[in-house]
Amino acid sequence: MAITLQPGAVSLATLETIYWTGEPAHLDPVCDPAIEKAAARIAEIASGDAPVYGINTGFGKLASIRIAPADVATLQRNLILSHCCGVGVPLAENVVRLILSLKLISLGRGASGVRLEIVRLIEAMLEKGVVPVIPEKGSVGASGDLAPLAHMAAVMMGEGEAFYQGQRLAGAAALAKAGLAPIVLAAKEGLALINGTQASTALALAGLFRAHRAAQSAVITGAMSTDAAMGSPAPFHAEIHTLRGHRGQQDVAASLRALLDRSEIRESHVEGDERVQDPYCIRCQPQVDGACLDLLRSAGATLEIEANAVTDNPLVLSDGSVVSGGNFHAEPVAFAADQIAIAICEIGAIAQRRIALLVDPALSHGLPAFLAKSPGLNSGLMIAEVTSAALMSENKQMSHPASVDSTPTSANQEDHVSMACHGARRLLQMTDNLFSIIGIELLTAAQGVEFRQPLRTGTELIKALAAVRRVVPTLEIDRYMAPDLEAAAHLVADGVLVASVDPAILAGMRVGA
């Protein structure tokens, strides 16, 4: 069943559903009158004599060149074809479906001046599964995500390429197989399609949704590591975090307390433990992961606004005037992407320190070296920890802010750009790394908890332990490890680990409202 989009009020939760499930989306029919009214205004201008940017003029540095009414359709077609300059591998299909959905939302606000035929074709492409091939690179995040969105628009014209039912086809062939016909763009429609931040925003949203899943998973593995190391849950006491007041910190602490509830391991060392304090990677989980959660929430609020925004140019205003502005500049998205990158980096950094703690017999409170059952003969999880360190370091290198960079383009007409698109795209690689780091922590924590038998961990963590043991057996002797790491990473990336515990435990860690 298709998701109904109400422009201006689409929630992060709705966008997340589109991203994870691929459900098609369509505009609320209440949008139609405003779309038609703006389209009529554009048609009126196109048939007149007064020059208006993007309707009957050239683009960018060529805006002073007047275009005759007879050439308006050719102008739009040429615009799309000339801007199809993307390079690199295609964006993932779920990202492209999100791009199409975001474009629908923007057009649905009734300020872009496109005909309803454009909206109906995008809706039909989502419904039928025609997914444009959009190369990953080519946008600097200003004047819109021009190259990526041009590849999207090209398919609508019967050009370019698209995926359909698992095949990569010419755009016209993909439309035909889906029973759809290409469209001839009218005045301003090409510009409306390629102006906008939808590629950058979709990538940033994908990074946000993936980072949030990783953050929830890291609380589960962090709790399991705490028990494996015989750490104390005392630093998770609610009043400690209330006294500081940060929402994310309080929410993470509450989840940790619930996950460690009824742990026999904990009860076994309440009395007589000579350790006064645990290392920061155990003790400061609420402070670090909570701060990361708050960063994700801040970025999510920005991206929710952007997802509902009109970001092409020029815009048809409520009084019928058509005015050029700069809503296509993706600076808010670039800042949000940089925030998400920092959070991803830090979630992985503290998780990696917990992995290092568990494999170090000097720190792990009685666990064998590298969690091997016969250390020396077996290396256990020695190199899994090294891999986690490599991934952590790689994420640190990628966390440098993209938004502080700029370079003039388009003959200095576009002289300050946001770099939002690749700033957001890097989040996908960073979250892949993070999924693996947390997966490795899951393996080390599970192995450590099992070394505490016959004592049992908390009730909810037993469920998480069962989830990993369904796909990765306990490490008895050294074996070929790469498949284990891959399987554990998939448990995190696919949401299986999060789904293994009571949803109420992580409910307080929501990012959206």
- List the catalytic residues: 53
Q: Which residue has the tokens 């589109």?
A: 18
Which residues, listed in sequence order, are joined to residue 5 by a DSSP beta bridge?
A: 27
CA distance 37 to 35: 6
CA distance 240 to 209: 29
CA distance 214 to 434: 7
**Burial of 301 by CB count in 10 Å (0-12 exposed, 13-18 middle, 19+ buried)?**
middle
Backbone CA torsion sign across 245, 249, 252, 257 = negative
**Contact (CB, 8 A) for 99 and 202:** yes
Q: Is 409 helix (H, G, I), strand (E, B) or coil?
A: strand
Strands (E), 387-442: none
Q: Is 217 helix (H, G, I), strand (E, B) or coil?
A: helix
CA distance 139 to 103: 16
User: Which pair of structure tokens corresponds to residue 69?
Assistant: 């009414």
CA distance 370 to 444: 9
User: Which pair of structure tokens corresponds to residue 454?
Assistant: 């016959």
Please give, one letter per residue, the 3-state secondary structure of 344-358: HHHHHHHHHHHHHHH
CA distance 104 to 259: 41
CA distance 33 to 108: 10
Q: Is the peptide bond before 51 cis (omega within 30 degrees of 0)?
A: no
CA distance 49 to 46: 8
User: Which pair of structure tokens corresponds to residue 338?
Assistant: 């940089």
CA distance 421 to 200: 4
H or E segment and range at residue 3: strand 3-5
Pairing mode, strands 161-164 and 131-132: antiparallel
User: Which pair of structure tokens corresponds to residue 508?
Assistant: 């307080």
Which residues, listed in sequence order, are joined to residue 472 by a DSSP beta bridge?
A: none
SS3 content of the chain, % helix, strand, coil (to 5): 60, 5, 35
User: Which pair of structure tokens corresponds to residue 127?
Assistant: 């419904």
Q: Which residue has the tokens 């966390």?
A: 399
